[in-house]
Amino acid sequence: MQNAITDVPGILVGHATNLKAMTGCTVILAEDGAISGVDQRGGAPGTRETDALRPMHLVDKAHAVLLAGGSAFGLDAATGVMRFLEEKGVGFDSGFARVPIVPAAVLYDLGIGLPDVRPDAEMGYIACQNASQAAPAEGNVGAGTGATVGKILGMSQAMKSGLGTASIDLGGGLVVGTIVAVNALGDIVDPETGKILAGARAISVAPNARPQLANTLVIMKSLLGKTALRISSAHNTVIGVVATNARLDKEETNKVAQMAHNGLARSIRPAHTMYDGDTVFALATGRKRADVNTIGAYAAECMAAAIVRAALQATSANGLPAARDLKS
């Protein structure tokens, strides 16, 4: 066990990163296909192929999931993932061609790097070439390259976040794993202690002062917060994947995606706002018998752990401090 989503058999992860532009993408490959589901919450999503994953639709398996920066522009990276899979003969057999099923979700990172450079088809293809069963890099990498949190007072008072992954061994060879890029309006909190790890920073008049955390929930009920929310825009979103080698049907896999959102609620405060487009995909590779309630419960635990790692593994960038900069 590597404490990573790649602990789930059949799941590979690859990143493509542009540190100069502060953007990137992450691909989660399931080339043999995985029963798939999705649950999207929050008011500002950027997604692709999500309807196909819901019950009462023909397709039940996805071959990859793409997580990307670049806002809606970043959805173009899924084209590169499709090209990679098509070259390998992977896809839904439509009779005349194999069509790779590649759902995707994007986050808004245009405010931290170069807004005219976004993940594209070539970057998506490169992420696939980089995919492996090794534990994926975390922090400022892939879809988490330009991720930030705590933006209620604007980007100047935000903090750097990133991408995190985690896994849980449920015994008997059954594994649940998650990967998530955390780009939230709210603060990242330790679900065990309630301590804020990264989020909105208090305004300081002292030059070079050590960053001091504010509290987004407290700010929201103040006059300053009410004004800030009125002028806020959709520059946020948490996007992630939960995978398991449990044997689940399509309805059960959608339920796991839904329950995984409990991990967001435990570790991001507040979550699912109108300024976030929080989206979680679920993949079931289908080899181990398991109860869907158990898988969903631990999907939430694993998602919360990955979100915490996204904060702790991030490093400061473009003038924004990270959680590690708060330590004395």
Q: Confidence class of residue 328 from pLDDT cuts 50, 70 and 90?
A: very low
Residue 325 domain-assigned (yes or no): no
Residue 274 domain-assigned (yes or no): yes
Residue 327 domain-assigned (yes or no): no
Whose CA is closest to 181, among 74, 292, 53? Answer: 74
Instruction: Print the domain residue range for 225.
Output: 5-317
Q: What is the predicted pLDDT for the residue at 226?
A: 73
Q: What is the predicted pLDDT for the residue at 205?
A: 54
Q: Contact 14/26 with Cβ under 8 angstroms?
A: yes
Report residue 116 as tokens.
Answer: 């005219």
Q: What stretch of H or E contains 16?
A: strand 12-18
12 versus 224: the higher-pLDDT residue is 12
223 versus 309: the higher-pLDDT residue is 309
Residue 328 domain-assigned (yes or no): no
Q: Confidence class of residue 207 from pLDDT cuts 50, 70 and 90?
A: low
pLDDT, tens digit (0-9, with 9 covering 90-100), for 94-136? 899 999 999 999 999 999 999 999 999 999 999 999 999 999 9
Residue 144 domain-assigned (yes or no): yes
Residue 233 domain-assigned (yes or no): yes
Q: Contact 9/182 with Cβ under 8 angstroms?
A: no
The number of domains in the chain is 1
Residue 275 domain-assigned (yes or no): yes
Residue 323 domain-assigned (yes or no): no
pTM: 0.94
The percentage of the chain sitting over the pLDDT mark of 70, rounded to a whole number, equals 95
Report residue 101 as tokens.
Answer: 């099923």
Average pLDDT over residues 45-59: 90
pLDDT, tens digit (0-9, with 9 covering 90-100), for 145-203? 999 999 998 888 899 999 999 999 999 999 999 999 999 999 999 999 999 999 999 87
Q: What is the predicted pLDDT for the residue at 165?
A: 98
Whose structure tokens read 């009410």?
226
Q: What is the predicted pLDDT for the residue at 187?
A: 96
Q: What is the predicted pLDDT for the residue at 230?
A: 65
Question: Domain holding 169: CATH number?
Answer: 3.60.70.12
